[in-house]
A and B are shown apart, each in its own frame.
Chain A
Amino acid sequence: EVHLLESGGGFVQSGGSQRLSCAASGFMFRNYAINWIRQAPGKGLEWVSGISGTGTETFYADSLRGRFTISRDNFEDTVFLQMHSLTSDDTAVYYCAKERESSSRGAFDSWGPGTLVTVSS
């Protein structure tokens, strides 16, 4: 059974940094792209970033490029999201999600339960 579990959320001061992790199991990790999607309290979903199975290709939402960095460790079956210069606008539940197949573009068939990042001023 596919399983994704995010960690690393919590309270962070405005202007600070946070590193999120997404631990995966139950599938051939290196064969699948993993994405981060976030949801601010009471708001809709927002795509944040994605990384190919090999890790050679990375993608970012334009508004976040430069502050967020996605990476993966295919030996530890884990994806990371490093976030810098955080503001209250970054307060959200951050989900990691597995793409259904390599060319599915936005079809995420497995999600973690999410981790809450709260940026306080």
Chain B
Amino acid sequence: QSALIQPASVSGSLGQSITLSCTGTSRDIGDYEYVSWYQQYPGRAPKLIISEVYNRPPGVSTRFSGSKSGNTASLNIFGLRIEDEADYHCISYRVNVGLVFGAGTKLTVL
């Protein structure tokens, strides 16, 4: 069982805005600002889209944003496009453990 909890699948319509969740504990998301999000297409390496909860690396679309409340981090995607259909993974630092991932969410764009 993964250390962070992500829904297995989420779907949204073209142009819609959606939120993907990543739930941890006070030992990771709740107490640290070390949450990152990755986008992964089948057969490809993951791509960093959000780091340190809120930061968007250069070149990443402004349609992606990150946030956190309590033990849950969120990835917000505005104005869904076909190319957003992918797997999304969250990762956090956890004290005395290191880095922990969620199992990933498969996003389907309808």
A residues lining the B interface (CB < 8 Å) = 35, 37, 43-47, 50, 59-62, 95, 100, 104-109, 111-114
- Measured between beta carbons, the chain B residues less than 8 angstroms from A113 are 45
**Are A100 and B45 in contact, CB atoms less than 8 angstroms apart?**
no
B57 located at the interface, meaning its Cβ lies under 8 Å from any Cβ of chain A in the complex = yes
**Are B51 and A104 in contact, CB atoms less than 8 angstroms apart?**
yes
B92 located at the interface, meaning its Cβ lies under 8 Å from any Cβ of chain A in the complex = yes
- Measured between beta carbons, the chain A residues less than 8 angstroms from B46 are 37, 45, 95, 108, 111
**Are B48 and A108 in contact, CB atoms less than 8 angstroms apart?**
yes
Interface residues on B, range: 20 to 34
For residue A32, give the distance in angstroms from its CB to the closest CB of chain B: 14
**Are A45 and B48 in contact, CB atoms less than 8 angstroms apart?**
no
Q: Which 9 A-B pairs have the closest CB atoms?
A: A107-B51, A111-B45, A47-B99, A44-B103, A44-B104, A105-B34, A105-B93, A106-B91, A45-B101
Q: A105-B93, A111-B46, A114-B45 are in contact. Are A60 and B101 (CB under 8 A)?
A: no
For residue B59, give the distance in angstroms from its CB to the closest CB of chain A: 10
Most chain A beta-carbon neighbours within 10 Å: one of B2, B38, B45, B97: B45
For residue A41, give the distance in angstroms from its CB to the closest CB of chain B: 11
**Are B89 and A45 in contact, CB atoms less than 8 angstroms apart?**
yes
Q: A106-B34, A111-B45 are in contact. Are A47 and B98 (CB under 8 A)?
A: yes
- Measured between beta carbons, the chain B residues less than 8 angstroms from A108 are 36, 38, 46, 48
CB contact between B98 and one of A44, A60, A95 (< 8 Å): that residue: A60
> How far, in angstroms, from A45 to B40 measured CA to CA in the complex?
10
Other than the known A50-B98, A106-B92, what 6 A-B pairs have Cβ atoms closer than 8 Å? Answer: A37-B101, A45-B101, A45-B104, A47-B99, A106-B36, A108-B38
B102 located at the interface, meaning its Cβ lies under 8 Å from any Cβ of chain A in the complex = yes
